[in-house]
């Protein structure tokens, strides 16, 4: 019940069109202090005791002072950029948040978070400080909980500093597309089909061609030069493995996707060109590059059975 | 662990300070519970015992206190609660809750010991405790030190004083904490004083005398009745019984005049008044303490007058048949035995002065002995016939009893005799130790006259300071049946230190504890335009506090710019006057190029500033 009410207000406030407005509300501890203040005021008035009244006002002023301080601790802070992590299910990675500030005193005990179904922030109680000493960045450790793709639009940042009497928070608008790739796990077999590549058939040997300006001197065939007095260049031909297309049908299980992910990484490491065919929905032609790897992984993350 | 020890230490200090104010059984139980928590580590056993102890404490409070002793009961409850809470100090949240309970205990201390030192120590204690709570919250407390702590604490403390002095005192208080100390400290007399009418300090006896055992009578009234030892009107009792507050009639204000003469030992009889609420004015500066003592500041020879309100007429010099009847009222059971033993001649002189002289002579002849630890007597007659050892109360009651038999209207007055002169601030401290009982007799030609039967027994009581007098009576400390002479200890320097602390306490307390509505109006009226409501002054102070605090933080957070940055900002500001604003996407050079097209007249200035900018930031 309480959780749903909190979520309702979270969504309501997060949906605000304002540019990271700062909200401040008393915490449960703060409410206890308010109650104590009321009790002390009643006692002070009932007994006409000035010391109780003064004690009450000292507590009250510290309470109000802490309200200003908590707000001050968050004001002037702007989120400049955020890194997009590449994370597999079951893995932990860092997200870096870069800030700029107009507050010379720095910002302390900040607790960033965001709403996600796929990842979970580790050490949720951990707080961070921002000052000129640590280059205005916060690195949060996240853990991939579920494979998938989602878009994160709001980053929540709160602080309770200094007395935990007030919770001051704000939302930063971001456009973070979060992909959680399948777990890297070798297990289930899947279909592999080799694609013959006759054009690029390569061997260990070399053939000789005429020297062209710009060719490396290391590859000049000096023997032939001595024999013919003509410049030739040795053209080595590397052996490239045959491209492989990894495929699965429309109802692939998570285990199968994990195995595909494992194979993709292995092939990327071994420099084998690979393609991906996920049912009839998507097909990525064979290739082997970091960008290709990212594309394949994203496709796996987005795979919806 | 450190914070647990600090908590235990604070609770122990609270027990010690409150020891004089609450029953010993409550202090002992609190200490016992605190101690027990260190020995029981089994979790389920702890929980079980805790619940058991909670019920035990509730039962203790139920049986220990009468319903009207709300203050005492509440203070005891908070103290017991703090020791019970001590059993579950594990998380930071527990410690914070403990902080709240300890704050309430501090509040009890301030009510029962309204002195500046107790207040200062209390505030320091709580700040220290809160600091440790912040520490266990994994806060790097170093970040709160120095400037940051200063900017938070200093304005808060200053403004709390501003708010305190401007907060409207719209009430003079609904409860009186003075009842507490007085009831406890004076409730151990066993004598049946009902023979003399309402003459008692024992709480049970007071209620019995007035037939009010089951009444919900506000205690202030009983306190008033018992302390002045004279009857209030029947109307007042019935009004109190019906739960109504006695309406104070301003026209019945009566001025007491007690002549205060400062002798070497500051001896003067000062009848107890009924708490500061009833004292409207006094010629000499007057501080009332919650422990029953009061202080006359800058005392000098002269009249000490109190103007008091309420139905006090009976206490004064007025004498009418009704008062006479009451002043002669007696319930003698063994009058013949008394007469036989105390009356040498059955024929008493006609003249009341002679009768009084004869009574005094006879009282001296009886050779009573002064003792602070007399045996228990069942009645005044029992004391007169079977006893010889007693103290002021016994002598005063007996003398009043005999005076009534002698047909001299008499009444017993309880109050203070003397005090200690404090040379550090020229004041007299009147303590519980100085409590005294004496008699007032009515003579036809002279009115009410003071007679102190104790001085007839021990004249030293009048000439010596109370502490000196009691030391002379009991010159030994008794420790495990070993008597140690008090002469072995020299308390003089220690006493001087206490007097100095007391004077300091008094100076600091004076402006704070006595800051009532009248003083507030007087102060604020002199500072603000006439008839400016106090409520508005408070609201203005609060708004000023909020405004100044926000300004303070604004300036505190401002970045310090170097001269080049300042010059650049000044340049942008000047160009803005021509309607040109630098976009975030363009560089300074691009902006200047744009400006050169729009405002060619400022070409020289623009180029100069651009060159300076590039030199400052990029070379």
Run of H or E including A141 = strand A137-144
Residue B135 forms part of a structural domain: yes
The answer to whether residue B75 neighbours chain A at the CB level (below 8 Å) is no
Which residues constitute the domain of residue B532? 517-557
Which residues constitute the domain of residue A65? 2-181
Q: What is the DSSP string of B207-248?
A: HHHTT-TT----HHHHHHHHHHTSPPPHHHHHHHHTTPPPPP
Give the per-residue pLDDT at B255.
41
Which residues share a beta bridge with A81?
A: A98
Residue B560 CA to its chain's centroid (Å)? 50
Instruction: Count up the domains in chain A and report the number.
Output: 3
Q: How far apart are CA A54 and CA B413, in angstroms?
A: 37
* pLDDT above 60 (res B286): no
Chain B residue closest in CA terms to A74 = B557
The answer to whether residue B528 neighbours chain A at the CB level (below 8 Å) is no
Give the per-residue pLDDT at B383.
84
In this structure, are B527 and B610 located in the same domain?
no
Contacts of A161 in chain B (CB under 8 A): 139
Q: How far apart are CA B529 and CA B473, in angstroms?
A: 61
List CB contacts of B248: < 8 A, sequence separation 6 or more: B309, B310
The answer to whether residue B44 neighbours chain A at the CB level (below 8 Å) is no
Q: Span B367-381, mean pLDDT?
A: 80
Residue B611 forms part of a structural domain: yes
| Higher per-residue confidence, A290 vs B236 | A290
Give the per-residue pLDDT at B563.
80
Residue B612 forms part of a structural domain: yes
Domain boundary among B95, B115, B144: B144
Q: How far apart are CA B259 and CA B170, in angstroms?
A: 35
C-beta of residue B536 within 8 angstroms of C-beta of residue B188 = no
Query: Tens digit of pLDDT for each residue in B352-365?
Result: 888 899 888 888 88
Residue B416 forms part of a structural domain: no
Chain B residue closest in CA terms to A77 = B557
Rounded to the nearest 5°, which phi and psi values hold at B248? Answer: -80, 125
Task: Share the mean pLDDT of chain A.
Answer: 83
In this structure, are A173 and A225 located in the same domain?
no
In this structure, are A133 and A57 located in the same domain?
yes
Q: How far apart are CA B414 and CA B303, in angstroms?
A: 20
Q: Which of A87-101, B170-184, B380-394, B546-560 has the highest mean pLDDT?
A: A87-101
In this structure, are B525 and B613 located in the same domain?
no
Residue A186 forms part of a structural domain: no
Spell B515-549 as b/e; 16+ CB within 10 A means b: beeeebeeebeeeeeeeeebeebbeebbeebeeeb
CA dihedral B516, B520, B522, B523 (to 10 degrees): 130
Closest CA to A66 of B24, B412, B130, B612: B130
Q: What is the DSSP string of B506-557?
A: HHHHHHHHT--HHHHHHHHHHHS-TT--HHHHHHHHHHHHHHHHHHHHHHHH
Q: How far apart are CA B552 and CA B534, in angstroms?
A: 26
Query: Tens digit of pLDDT for each residue in A190-240?
Result: 667 766 554 454 455 677 788 877 777 878 888 888 888 888 888 776 666
Residue A41 forms part of a structural domain: yes
C-beta of residue B87 within 8 angstroms of C-beta of residue B50 = yes
The answer to whether residue B549 neighbours chain A at the CB level (below 8 Å) is yes
Interchain contact, A55 vs B177, CB within 8 Å: no
Instruction: Count up the domains in chain B and report the number.
Output: 3
Q: How far apart are CA A263 and CA A183, in angstroms?
A: 11
Give me the residues of B, 114-143, that contact A with CB < 8 A.
Answer: 114, 118-119, 122-123, 134, 137-139, 143
Contacts of A24 in chain B (CB under 8 A): none
Query: Tens digit of pLDDT for each residue in B478-508?
Result: 666 677 777 777 667 777 888 888 778 777 7
Closest CB to B560 among A53, A65, A104? A104
Interchain contact, B110 vs A162, CB within 8 Å: no
In this structure, are B39 and B79 located in the same domain?
yes
Give the minimum alpha-carbon distance from B163 to chain A in angstroms, rounded to a whole number: 7
Chain A residue closest in CA terms to B95 = A29
The answer to whether residue B78 neighbours chain A at the CB level (below 8 Å) is no
Task: Share the mean pLDDT of chain B.
Answer: 71
Helix axes B392-405, B352-365, angle to 10 degrees: 140
Q: How far apart are CA B343 and CA A206, in angstroms?
A: 151
Contacts of B556 in chain A (CB under 8 A): 72, 105
Contacts of A48 in chain B (CB under 8 A): 169, 171-173, 516
Q: Specify the 3-state DSSP secondary structure of B442.
A: strand
Give me the residues of B, 159-178, that contact A with CB < 8 A.
Answer: 159-161, 163-164, 167, 169-177
Strands, E assignment, B115-221: none
Give the minimum alpha-carbon distance from B232 to chain A in angstroms, rounded to a whole number: 25
Residue A173 forms part of a structural domain: yes
| pLDDT band, residue B206 (cuts 50/70/90) | very low
In this structure, are B522 and B612 located in the same domain?
no
- Asked if this assembly's ipTM is beyond 0.85, the reply is no
CA dihedral A289, A294, A297, A301 (to 10 degrees): -170
Give the per-residue pLDDT at B189.
31
Query: Tens digit of pLDDT for each residue in B84-132?
Result: 999 888 888 899 999 999 999 999 888 877 778 888 899 999 988 988 8
Which residues share a beta bridge with A148?
A: A180
| pLDDT band, residue B11 (cuts 50/70/90) | very high
Contacts of A163 in chain B (CB under 8 A): 134
* pLDDT above 70 (res A253): yes
C-beta of residue B252 within 8 angstroms of C-beta of residue B404 = no
In this structure, are A163 and A14 located in the same domain?
yes
Interchain contact, B107 vs A52, CB within 8 Å: yes
Closest CB to B557 among A46, A76, A127? A76
Contacts of A39 in chain B (CB under 8 A): 104
Residue B17 forms part of a structural domain: yes
In this structure, are A258 and A177 located in the same domain?
no
Residues of chain B by 3-state class (helix, strand, coil), percent to 5: 60, 10, 30
Q: Which of B25-34, B302-311, B482-491 has the highest mean pLDDT?
A: B25-34
Give the per-residue pLDDT at A249.
78
Q: Span B548-568, mean pLDDT?
A: 79
| Higher per-residue confidence, A132 vs B392 | B392
The answer to whether residue B107 neighbours chain A at the CB level (below 8 Å) is yes
The answer to whether residue B556 neighbours chain A at the CB level (below 8 Å) is yes
What's the N-to-C CA distance of chain B in angstroms? 58
Handedness of CA B268, B271, B274, B278 (dihedral sign): negative
Closest CB to B167 among A29, A47, A53? A53
In this structure, are B550 and B594 located in the same domain?
no
In this structure, are B548 and B608 located in the same domain?
no
What's the N-to-C CA distance of chain A in angstroms? 33
Q: How far apart are CA A210 and CA A220, in angstroms?
A: 10
In this structure, are A230 and A254 located in the same domain?
no
Which residues share a beta bridge with B307?
A: B255, B281
List CB contacts of B350: < 8 A, sequence separation 6 or more: none
Q: How far apart are CA A125 and CA A30, in angstroms?
A: 19
Residue A248 forms part of a structural domain: yes
Closest CA to B287 of B452, B132, B72, B512: B512
Q: How far apart are CA B145 and CA B150, in angstroms?
A: 8
The answer to whether residue B286 neighbours chain A at the CB level (below 8 Å) is no
CATH number at A33 reads 2.60.40.10
In this structure, are A6 and A87 located in the same domain?
yes
In this structure, are A22 and A117 located in the same domain?
yes
Residue A98 forms part of a structural domain: yes
The answer to whether residue B545 neighbours chain A at the CB level (below 8 Å) is yes
In this structure, are A221 and A257 located in the same domain?
no
Domain boundary among B129, B144, B159: B144
Residues of chain B with pLDDT > 70: what percent?
64
Compute and round to an integer the Cα radius of gyration of chain A: 31
Q: Specify the 3-state DSSP secondary structure of B117.
A: helix
C-beta of residue A60 within 8 angstroms of C-beta of residue A156 = no
In this structure, are B29 and B112 located in the same domain?
yes
In this structure, are A171 and A253 located in the same domain?
no
Residue B129 forms part of a structural domain: yes
Interchain contact, B512 vs A54, CB within 8 Å: yes
Query: Tens digit of pLDDT for each residue in A15-42?
Result: 666 666 888 999 999 999 999 999 999 9
Number of A:B CB contacts under 8 A?
Answer: 137
In this structure, are A72 and A18 located in the same domain?
yes
Give the per-residue pLDDT at B235.
41
Q: Specify the 3-state DSSP secondary structure of B60.
A: helix
Q: Is B453 left (phi over 0), alpha (psi -120 to 50) or beta?
A: alpha
In this structure, are A14 and A160 located in the same domain?
yes
Query: Tens digit of pLDDT for each residue in B229-264?
Result: 222 334 433 333 333 333 344 334 444 444 344 443
Closest CB to B173 among A46, A162, A163? A46
Interchain contact, A62 vs B153, CB within 8 Å: yes
Rounded to the nearest 5°, which phi and psi values hold at B469? Answer: -65, -45
Q: What is the DSSP letter of A48?
A: T
Q: How far apart are CA B176 and CA B219, in angstroms?
A: 8
* pLDDT above 90 (res A272): no
In this structure, are B592 and B551 located in the same domain?
no
* pLDDT above 60 (res B420): yes
Which residues share a beta bridge with B255?
A: B307
In this structure, are B521 and B613 located in the same domain?
no
In this structure, are B550 and B571 located in the same domain?
no
In this structure, are B529 and B570 located in the same domain?
no
Distances in whole angstroms, Cα of residue B240 to Cα of each of A267, A288, B326: 98, 99, 21
In this structure, are B16 and B70 located in the same domain?
yes
In this structure, are A232 and A244 located in the same domain?
no
Residues of chain A by 3-state class (helix, strand, coil), percent to 5: 35, 35, 35
| Higher per-residue confidence, A302 vs B174 | A302
- Taking the model in full, what pTM does it have? 0.67
Residue B57 forms part of a structural domain: yes
User: Which residues of A sit within 8 Å Cβ distance of B?
Assistant: 29, 32-33, 36, 39-40, 43, 45-55, 57-62, 64-66, 68-69, 71-72, 75-76, 102-105, 108-109, 127, 129, 161-164
* pLDDT above 70 (res A97): yes
Chain B residue closest in CA terms to A39 = B104
Closest CA to B602 of B569, B566, B567, B576: B576
Residue B498 forms part of a structural domain: no
């Amino acid at each position: 019940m309480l959780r749903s009410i909190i979520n309702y207000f979270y969504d309501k406030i997060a949906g605000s069109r304002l540019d990271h407005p700062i909200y401040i509300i008393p915490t449960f501890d703060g409410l206890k202090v308010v109650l104590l203040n009321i009790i002390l005021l009643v006692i002070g008035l009932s007994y006409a005791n000035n010391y109780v009244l003064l004690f009450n006002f000292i507590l009250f002023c510290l309470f109000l002072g802490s309200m200003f301080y908590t707000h001050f601790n968050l004001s002037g802070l702007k989120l400049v950029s955020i890194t997009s992590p590449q994370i597999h299910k079951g893995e932990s990675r860092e997200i870096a948040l870069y800030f700029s500030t107009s507050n010379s005193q720095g910002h302390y005990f900040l607790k960033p978070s965001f709403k996600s179904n796929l990842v979970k922030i580790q050490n949720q109680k951990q707080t961070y400080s921002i000052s000129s000493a640590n280059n205005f960045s916060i690195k949060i450790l996240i853990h991939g909980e579920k494979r998938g793709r989602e878009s994160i639009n709001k980053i929540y940042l709160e602080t309770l500093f200094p007395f935990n009497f007030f919770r001051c928070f704000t939302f930063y608008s971001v456009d973070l597309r979060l992909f959680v790739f399948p777990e890297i796990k070798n297990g289930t077999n899947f279909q592999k089909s080799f694609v013959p590549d006759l054009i690029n058939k390569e061997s260990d040997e070399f053939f000789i061609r005429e020297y062209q300006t710009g060719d490396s001197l290391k590859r000049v065939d000096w023997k032939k030069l001595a024999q013919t007095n003509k410049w030739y260049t040795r053209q080595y031909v590397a052996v490239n493995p045959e491209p492989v297309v990894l495929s699965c049908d429309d109802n692939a299980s998570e285990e199968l996707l994990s195995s595909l992910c494992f194979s993709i990484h292995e092939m990327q490491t071994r420099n084998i060109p690979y393609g991906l065919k996920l049912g009839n929905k998507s097909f990525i032609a064979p290739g082997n590059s970091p960008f290709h790897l990212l594309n394949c992984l994203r496709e796996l993350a987005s795979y919806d059975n | 662990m450190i914070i647990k020890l600090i908590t235990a230490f604070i609770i122990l200090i609270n027990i010690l300070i409150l020891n004089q104010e609450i029953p010993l059984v409550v202090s002992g139980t609190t200490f016992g519970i605190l101690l027990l928590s260190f020995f029981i580590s089994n979790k389920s056993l702890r929980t079980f015992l805790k619940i058991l102890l909670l019920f035990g404490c509730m039962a203790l409070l139920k049986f220990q206190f009468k319903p009207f002793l709300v203050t005492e009961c509440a203070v005891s409850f908070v103290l017991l609660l703090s020791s019970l809470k001590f059993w579950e100090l594990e998380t930071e949240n527990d410690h914070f809750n403990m902080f709240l309970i300890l704050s309430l205990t501090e509040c009890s201390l301030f009510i029962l010991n309204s002195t500046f030192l107790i207040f200062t120590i209390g505030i320091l204690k709580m700040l220290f405790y809160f600091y440790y709570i912040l520490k266990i919250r994994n806060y790097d407390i170093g970040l709160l030190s120095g400037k940051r702590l200063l900017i938070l604490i200093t304005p808060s403390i200053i403004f709390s004083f501003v708010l305190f002095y401007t907060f409207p005192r719209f009430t003079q208080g609904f409860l009186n904490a003075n009842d507490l100390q007085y009831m406890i400290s004076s409730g151990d007399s066993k004598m049946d004083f009902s023979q003399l009418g309402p003459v008692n300090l024992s709480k049970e006896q007071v209620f019995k005398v007035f037939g009010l055992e089951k009444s919900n009578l506000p205690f202030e009234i009983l306190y008033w009745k018992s302390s002045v030892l004279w009857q209030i009107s029947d109307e007042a009792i019935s009004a109190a019984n019906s739960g109504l507050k006695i309406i104070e009639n301003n026209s019945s204000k009566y001025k007491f005049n007690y002549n205060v003469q400062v002798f070497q030992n500051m001896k003067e009889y000062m009848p107890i008044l009924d708490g500061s609420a009833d004292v409207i004015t006094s010629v000499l500066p007057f501080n009332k303490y919650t422990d029953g003592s009061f202080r006359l500041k800058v005392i000098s020879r002269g009249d000490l007058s109190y103007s008091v309100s309420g139905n006090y007429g009976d206490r004064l010099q007025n004498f009418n048949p009704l008062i006479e009847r009451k002043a002669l009222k007696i319930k003698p059971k063994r009058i013949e035995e008394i007469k036989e033993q105390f009356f040498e001649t059955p024929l008493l002189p006609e003249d009341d002065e002679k009768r009084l002289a004869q009574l005094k002579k006879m009282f001296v002849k009886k050779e009573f002995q002064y003792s602070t630890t007399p045996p228990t007597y069942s009645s005044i007659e029992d004391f007169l016939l079977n006893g010889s050892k007693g103290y002021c109360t016994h002598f005063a009651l007996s003398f009043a009893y005999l005076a009534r038999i002698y047909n001299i209207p008499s009444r017993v007055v309880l109050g203070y005799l003397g005090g200690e002169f404090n040379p550090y601030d020229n004041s007299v401290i009147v303590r519980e130790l100085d409590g005294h009982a004496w008699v007032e007799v009515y003579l036809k030609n002279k009115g009410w006259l003071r007679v102190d039967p104790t001085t007839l027994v021990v004249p030293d009581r009048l000439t010596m300071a109370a502490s000196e007098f009691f030391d002379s009576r009991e010159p030994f400390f008794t420790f495990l049946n070993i008597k140690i002479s008090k002469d072995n200890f020299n308390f003089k320097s220690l006493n001087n230190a206490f007097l100095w602390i007391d004077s300091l306490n008094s100076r600091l307390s004076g402006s704070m504890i006595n800051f009532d509505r009248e003083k507030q109006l007087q102060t604020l009226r002199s500072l603000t335009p006439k008839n400016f409501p106090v409520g508005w002054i408070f609201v203005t102070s609060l708004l000023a506090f909020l405004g100044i605090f926000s300004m303070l933080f604004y300036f505190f957070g401002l970045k310090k710019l170097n001269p080049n940055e300042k010059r650049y900002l000044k340049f942008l500001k000047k160009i803005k006057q021509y309607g040109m604003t630098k976009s975030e996407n363009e560089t300074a050079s691009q902006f200047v190029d744009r400006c050169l097209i729009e405002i060619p007249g400022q070409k020289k200035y623009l180029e100069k500033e651009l060159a300076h900018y590039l030199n400052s930031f990029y070379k």
